[in-house]
Amino acid sequence: MNAVVSRLVAALCHPFTIDDYVALASPLWSSGEVRARMVEVKRETHDVATLVLRPNARWRGHRAGQHVALTVEVRGVRRTRFFSIASGEVAEDGTIELTVKARPGGEITPSLISGALRGAIVTLSQASGSFVLPDVMPERTLLLSGGSGITPVMSMLRTLPQAGARDEVTFVTWARSEADVIYREELTRLAREAGPKARVLVRLGPFDAAALAEIVPDFETWDTWACGPAPFLEAVGAAFEARDPAAGERLRTERFSLDRGADTSGENEVTFTRSDRRARGGGSLLGLAERSGLTPETGCRMGICRTCTCRKISGTTRDLRTGALSTDSDVDVQLCVSEPVGPVALDL
Q: What CATH number should be reported for the domain whose range is 269-346?
A: 3.10.20.30
Q: How far apart are CA 205 and CA 132, in angstroms?
A: 26
Q: What's the pLDDT at 19?
A: 53
Over residues 296-311, the pLDDT tens digits come to: 998 878 777 888 999 9
The strand order across the sheet containing 121-124 reads 77-84, 67-74, 121-124, 34-45, 48-55, 96-101
Q: What's the pLDDT at 265?
A: 41
Residues with Cβ within 8 Å of 326's Cβ and at least 6 positions away in sequence, in order, are: 312, 316, 317, 318, 319, 333, 338
Buried b (16+ CB within 10 A) or exposed e, 29-49: ebeebbbbbbebbeebbebbb
Taking the domains of the chain in order of start, what are their residue ranges?
A: 32-124, 140-255, 269-346
Most confident stretch, 82-96, 155-169, 255-269: 82-96
Q: What's the pLDDT at 254?
A: 87
CATH fold for the domain made of 140-255: Rossmann fold (3.40.50)
Strand, helix or coil for residue 280: strand
Cα first-last separation, the chain: 44
Residue 323: pLDDT over 60: yes
Q: Which residue has the higher pLDDT, 264 or 167?
A: 167
Average pLDDT, the chain: 85
Q: Is 140-255's fold the same as 269-346's?
A: no
Residue 172: pLDDT over 90: yes
Q: What's the pLDDT at 66?
A: 93
Q: What's the pLDDT at 337?
A: 86
Strand, helix or coil for residue 6: helix
**Entry pTM:** 0.71
- Tell me the percentage of the chain whose pLDDT exceeds 90: 55
Q: What's the pLDDT at 305?
A: 82
* DSSP-H helix ranges across the chain: 2-13, 18-25, 109-114, 150-162, 184-193, 209-215, 230-243, 285-291
Q: How far apart are CA 190 and CA 203, in angstroms?
A: 15
Q: What are the DSSP E strand ranges found in the chain? A: 34-45, 48-55, 67-74, 77-84, 96-101, 121-124, 140-146, 168-175, 198-204, 223-228, 251-255, 269-272, 277-280, 309-319, 325-326, 331-334, 338-346
Residue 212 buriedness (CB in 10 A; 0-12 / 13-18 / 19+): buried
Residue 10: pLDDT over 70: no
CB 143, CB 169: distance < 8 Å: yes
Over residues 96-135, the pLDDT tens digits come to: 999 999 988 777 899 999 999 999 999 998 998 889 998 8
Angle (CA) 83 86 88, round 5°: 135
Q: What CATH number should be reported for the domain whose range is 32-124?
A: 2.40.30.10
Handedness of CA 307, 324, 279, 330 (dihedral sign): negative
Q: What's the pLDDT at 267?
A: 59
